[in-house]
């Protein structure tokens, strides 16, 4: 049986065809859930964001003009939903003394073997504000002006938080590398 | 330009296209959330104004039901209470007077004419009578009965009204069984109170002087007479909830003439008139509507802002809680007018600009037209300069005379009153200050500005009929004076002016009202 194209699925969804809606969900739900997991604090919140995001996708699908990829449009919708969720949580600036973390270069070998789960775990360890900015800038590819507008902060704040997020991640990756290295040494 | 960092690239490569399997119930929740009922509910939640309206719709019948449930049992009692026999119409009292011992078998005695306040305990409860004496919660009447005295009640109606008991204040070791039987003709003021009798037991230890009930909470003395102060006789909740609905004599002895209860001198009136002043503040939205080409221009130019209204209002509140009022208000609505004039060539600014007008002319030369003469002519034409590009700015003020007709329903809880309301309002423009737009003399010039009070704009300012809904919270400052305040929503329903161009504004209102109530009680003529 031929798989429906994105355009056909969109047309079906606009007709409120339940099968098309479910097919569209099945096609992109896993990727979108991964997006939500990066923005949310825990899995339950990610599921809420995913749910709200898909409701928004189906409600606003008529606004998709077909000029870009459907996946990109859904992804942006999910990101905006996650940001809305983030703003609702009345985020408070979290400080973990990151200002004192030295920015040290990460050894090339340190990033070897970093799988998806570990990367996700590292991102998840970021404080809320830093995680949001890092996700938007580093992974989604938004610039600081866009991020500032999206999350309602200044561009300088966005830059500052990105820098701190990087330092945090560098620190964690280095620590992991040291631990692995120590483990290998003791094995010998 | 983006300042990428190796860390960024590392995480983007690792996470951008990553996948994770969501739980299956997420899809079910998406479907449920997009269901018709859920979406409707979500829509209502987003629009608190609609939510407020729903609250009015739901709250009104519920509150109405609450009042009806108060009255229903007693009304049933009144209907089923058997008529008193002539023998039962005597009032007797089994009471110990002075320092005499009061035993359980003490005989019924006639209640003295001059019962002293210090040794009387009132324990009467009134039911809904023909004249509308409101019915307290009948379930609060104790179901104890005495078999003492020759004229003790034989009625089976447990929840009928009770008369009273008189004892002295001396304490005894044993509980004193006091019997007071009261019956009599069905009297308009007392209603079914006198249709049956009931005995009451009380212990002297529980007897205390009549509580001086606050004049506000139990005006003119509460007929819900004070018993032990700890038992069911004393239903302060009811008194507080119906402060102006109960008008009973303060003392039971005032109801007794020649040992017989008489008509209560005060009865509940069918309604009470009141007069008040009110002030409101509005935040207006909306704009102009109609088929006129000016609609779009006006809506772009004029931004409605806030307004206020103040006036007097009078009305009548019935014992059912419904009230109707009519008012007279002066209202003010403001708007900000900003218009970038595209040119008003009708106006003569006295300045001219010169335009070079060039033309080619082709003329055939006779006789065979084989020769053609081309003529190039140019003229310098003086063109008057209009008011091009002028930015008009004005603060418009519209003054209206409002005549609001309002229906409200009140539910009293202690000193507070909950009052949802609906109203229709006729508004007449009595003043217009500022600037508005009018069609220019020709299509090319576009709209022109004119003063808001220009007669050419009269048609668009016809009488407005608007509707509003709201909810007030009232507080009884004194027995007769109540202060109400609450939010509302008002919208123009229609206009009786030029339908091609008419204001269509709506907005939220906060209103305050100070009310003085007249004629809260009616004195009945004594027989």
Nearest to A88 by CA among A35, A148, A48: A48
- Provide, rounded to the nearest whole percent, the portion of chain B with pLDDT above 90: 15
Select the residue from B30, B38, B42, B45 to test the A interface by mutation, using most A Cβ atoms within 10 A: B30
Per-residue pLDDT band for A111 (boundaries 50, 70, 90) equals: low
Q: Which among B268, B298, B315 is the end of a domain?
A: B268
Rounded to a whole number of angstroms, the distance between the first and last alpha carbons of chain B is: 100
- pLDDT attached to residue A50: 93
Q: Same structural domain for residues B292 and B216? A: no
Polymer length in residues for chain A: 188
Where are the extended beta strands (E) located within B199-265?
256-257, 260-261
Count other Cβ atoms within 10 Å, centred on residue B414.
15
In the predicted structure, residue A90 carries a pLDDT above the cut 80: no
For residues B62-87, average pLDDT: 49
Query: Alpha carbon of B434 to those of B285, B303, B454: distances in Å?
Result: 18, 13, 10
Beta carbons of B93 and B180 less than 8 angstroms apart: yes
Please judge whether A138 and B11 are an interchain contact, meaning their C-beta atoms are less than 8 angstroms apart.
yes
Query: For residues A30 and A27, what is the distance between their CA atoms, to the nearest angstrom?
Result: 8
- Provide, rounded to the nearest whole percent, the portion of chain A with pLDDT above 90: 20
The C-alpha of B6 sits at a distance from chain A's nearest C-alpha, in angstroms, of 9
For residues B6-30, average pLDDT: 87
Q: Same structural domain for residues B240 and B277? A: no
Better pLDDT: A164 or B254: A164
Mean of pLDDT over chain B = 66
Min mean pLDDT across A138-142, B46-50, B234-238, B464-468 is at B234-238
Per-residue pLDDT band for B85 (boundaries 50, 70, 90) equals: very low
Better pLDDT: B431 or B140: B431
Q: Which residue of B has its CA nearest to A111?
A: B10
Residue B448 is part of a domain; what is its CATH number?
2.40.160.20
In the predicted structure, residue B219 carries a pLDDT above the cut 50: no
Q: Which among B250, B268, B286 is the end of a domain?
A: B268
Q: Which among B384, B406, B436 is the end of a domain?
A: B384
Q: Which of residues 127-146 of A touch B (CB under 8 A)?
A: 134, 137-141, 143
Q: Same structural domain for residues B332 and B356? A: no
Q: Same structural domain for residues B418 and B401? A: yes
- pLDDT attached to residue B14: 84
Q: Is residue B214 part of a domain?
A: yes
Q: Same structural domain for residues B320 and B458? A: yes
Q: Same structural domain for residues B160 and B258? A: yes
Q: Is residue B262 part of a domain?
A: yes
Beta carbons of B516 and B474 less than 8 angstroms apart: no
List chain A residues with CB under 8 Å of B2: 137, 141, 143
A33, A51, A170: residue with CB nearest B20: A33
- pLDDT attached to residue B408: 94
The C-alpha of B34 sits at a distance from chain A's nearest C-alpha, in angstroms, of 7
In the predicted structure, residue B319 carries a pLDDT above the cut 50: yes
Per-residue pLDDT band for B178 (boundaries 50, 70, 90) equals: very low
Q: Same structural domain for residues B375 and B233? A: no
pLDDT tens-digit readout, B504-523: 888 899 999 999 988 654 44
Beta carbons of B319 and B270 less than 8 angstroms apart: yes
Min mean pLDDT across A112-116, A169-173, B223-227, B321-325 is at B223-227
Q: Same structural domain for residues B464 and B498? A: yes
- pLDDT attached to residue B11: 86
Q: Is residue B156 part of a domain?
A: yes
Please judge whether B22 and A30 are an interchain contact, meaning their C-beta atoms are less than 8 angstroms apart.
yes
- pLDDT attached to residue B459: 84
- CATH class label, A6-88: mainly alpha
- pLDDT attached to residue A131: 87
Min mean pLDDT across A139-148, A164-173, B190-199, B250-259 is at B190-199
Q: Same structural domain for residues B232 and B159? A: yes
Report which DSSP code applies to B211: P
**Alpha helices (runs of H) in A61-154, residue ranges in sequence order:** 70-88, 116-125, 128-134, 144-151
- pLDDT attached to residue A85: 83
Min mean pLDDT across A139-143, B390-394, B478-482 is at B390-394
Count other Cβ atoms within 10 Å, centred on residue B187.
22
> How many domains is chain B partitioned into structurally?
3
Beta carbons of B310 and B278 less than 8 angstroms apart: yes
pLDDT tens-digit readout, B89-130: 443 333 334 444 444 443 334 444 444 433 333 433 343 433
Beta carbons of B161 and B187 less than 8 angstroms apart: no
The domain of B228 spans 55-268
How big is the A-B interface in CB pairs under 8 Å? 87
- pLDDT attached to residue B470: 94
Per-residue pLDDT band for A41 (boundaries 50, 70, 90) equals: confident
Cβ neighbors of A129 (< 8 A, separation 6 or more) are A91, A93, A94, A161
Query: A98-187 is classed in which CATH architecture?
Result: Orthogonal Bundle (1.10)
Q: Is residue B190 part of a domain?
A: yes
Better pLDDT: A157 or B445: A157
Q: Where are the domains of chain A?
A: 6-88, 98-187
Q: Is residue B20 part of a domain?
A: no
- pLDDT attached to residue B275: 93
Q: Is residue B80 part of a domain?
A: yes
For residues B467-481, average pLDDT: 90
Report which DSSP code applies to B218: S
For the ranges A150-159, B19-28, B206-215, B232-241, the maximum mean pLDDT occurs at: B19-28
Mean of pLDDT over chain A = 81
With tokens 């006295």, the residue in question is B350
In the predicted structure, residue A133 carries a pLDDT above the cut 50: yes
Per-residue pLDDT band for B221 (boundaries 50, 70, 90) equals: very low
A50, A55, A166: residue with CB nearest B22: A50
Q: Same structural domain for residues B259 and B276? A: no
Q: Same structural domain for residues B174 and B282? A: no
Q: Same structural domain for residues B220 and B235? A: yes
Better pLDDT: B513 or B61: B513
Q: Which residue of A has its CA nearest to B3?
A: A143
Query: Alpha carbon of B88 to those of B78, B148, B184, B196: distances in Å?
Result: 17, 14, 7, 8
With tokens 């009078």, the residue in question is B314
Q: With helix as H, strand as E and coil as C, how does B131-179 read?
A: CCCCCCCHHHCCCCCCCCCCCCCCCCCCCCCECCEECCCCCCCCCCCCE
In the predicted structure, residue B414 carries a pLDDT above the cut 70: yes
For residues B52-59, average pLDDT: 72
Q: Which of residues 3-32 of A touch B (CB under 8 A)?
A: 18, 22, 25, 29-31
Let me know the angle formed at the C-alpha of B404 by B400 and B408, rounded to the nearest 5 degrees. 150
The C-alpha of A30 sits at a distance from chain B's nearest C-alpha, in angstroms, of 5
Q: Is residue B48 part of a domain?
A: no
- pLDDT attached to residue B315: 93
In the predicted structure, residue B503 carries a pLDDT above the cut 60: yes
């Amino acid at each position: 049986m031929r798989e429906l194209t994105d355009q056909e699925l969109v047309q079906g969804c606009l007709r409120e065809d339940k099968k098309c809606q479910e097919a569209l969900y099945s096609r992109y739900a896993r990727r979108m859930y991964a997006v939500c997991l990066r923005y949310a604090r825990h899995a339950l919140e990610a599921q809420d964001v995913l749910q709200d995001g898909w409701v928004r996708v189906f409600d606003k699908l008529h606004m998709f003009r077909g000029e870009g990829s459907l996946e990109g449009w859904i992804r942006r919708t999910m990101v905006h939903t996650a940001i809305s969720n983030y703003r609702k949580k009345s985020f408070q600036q979290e400080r973990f003394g990151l200002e004192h973390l030295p920015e040290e270069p990460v050894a090339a070998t340190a990033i070897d073997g970093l799988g998806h789960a570990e990367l996700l775990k590292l991102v998840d360890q970021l404080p809320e504000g830093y995680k949001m900015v890092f996700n938007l800038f580093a992974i989604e590819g938004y610039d600081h002006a866009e991020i500032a507008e999206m999350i309602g902060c200044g561009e300088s704040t966005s830059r500052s938080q990105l820098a701190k997020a990087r330092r945090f991640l560098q620190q964690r990756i280095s620590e992991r590398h040291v631990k692995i290295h120590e483990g290998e040494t003791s094995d010998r | 330009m983006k300042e990428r960092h190796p860390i960024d690239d590392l995480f983007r490569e690792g996470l951008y296209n990553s996948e994770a399997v969501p739980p299956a119930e997420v899809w079910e929740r998406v479907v449920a959330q997009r269901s018709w009922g859920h979406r409707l509910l979500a829509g209502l939640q987003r629009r608190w104004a609609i939510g407020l309206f729903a609250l009015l719709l739901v709250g009104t019948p519920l509150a109405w039901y609450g009042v009806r449930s108060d009255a229903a049992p007693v009304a049933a009692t009144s209907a089923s209470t058997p008529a008193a026999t002539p023998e039962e119409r005597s009032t007797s009292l089994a009471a110990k007077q002075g320092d005499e011992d009061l035993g359980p078998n003490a005989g019924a005695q006639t209640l003295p004419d001059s019962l002293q306040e210090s040794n009387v305990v009132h324990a009467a409860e009134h039911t809904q009578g023909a004249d509308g004496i409101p019915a307290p919660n009948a379930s609060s009447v104790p179901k104890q009965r005495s078999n003492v005295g020759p004229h003790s009640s034989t009625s089976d109606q447990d929840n009928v009204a009770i008369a009273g008991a008189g004892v002295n204040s001396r304490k005894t070791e044993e509980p004193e069984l006091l019997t007071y039987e009261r019956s009599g003709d069905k009297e308009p003021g007392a209603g079914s109170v006198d249709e049956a009798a009931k005995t009451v037991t009380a212990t002297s230890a529980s007897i205390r002087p009549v509580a001086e009930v606050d004049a506000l909470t139990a005006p003119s003395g509460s007929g819900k007479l004070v018993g032990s102060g700890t038992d069911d006789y004393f239903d302060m909740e009811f008194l507080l909830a119906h402060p102006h609905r109960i008008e009973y004599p303060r003392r039971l002895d005032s109801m007794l003439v020649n040992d017989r209860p008489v008509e209560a001198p005060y009865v509940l009136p069918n309604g009470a008139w009141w007069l008040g002043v009110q002030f409101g503040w509005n935040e207006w939205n909306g704009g102009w509507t109609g088929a006129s080409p000016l609609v779009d221009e006006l809506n772009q130019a004029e931004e409605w802002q806030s307004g206020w209204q103040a006036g007097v209002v009078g009305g009548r509140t019935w014992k059912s809680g419904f009230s109707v009022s009519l008012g007279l208000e002066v209202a003010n609505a403001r708007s900000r007018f900003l218009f970038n004039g595209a040119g008003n060539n009708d106006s003569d600014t006295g300045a001219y600009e010169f335009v070079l007008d060039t033309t080619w002319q082709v003329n055939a030369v006779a006789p065979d037209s084989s020769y053609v003469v081309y003529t190039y002519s140019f003229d310098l034409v003086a063109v008057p300069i209009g008011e091009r590009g002028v930015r008009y700015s004005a603060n418009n003020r519209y003054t209206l005379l409002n005549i609001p007709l309002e229906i409200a329903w009140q539910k009293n809880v202690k000193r507070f009153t909950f009052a949802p309301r609906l109203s229709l309002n006729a508004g007449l423009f009595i003043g217009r200050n500022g600037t508005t737009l009018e069609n220019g003399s020709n299509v090319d010039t576009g709209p022109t500005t004119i003063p808001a009070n220009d007669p050419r704009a009269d048609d668009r300012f016809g009488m407005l009929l608007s509707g509003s809904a709201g909810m007030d919270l009232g507080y009884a400052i004194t027995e007769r004076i109540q202060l109400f305040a609450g939010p509302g929503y008002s919208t123009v329903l229609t206009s009786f002016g030029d339908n091609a161009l008419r204001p269509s504004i709506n907005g939220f209102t906060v209103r305050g009202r100070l009310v003085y109530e007249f004629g809260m009680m009616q004195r009945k003529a004594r027989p």
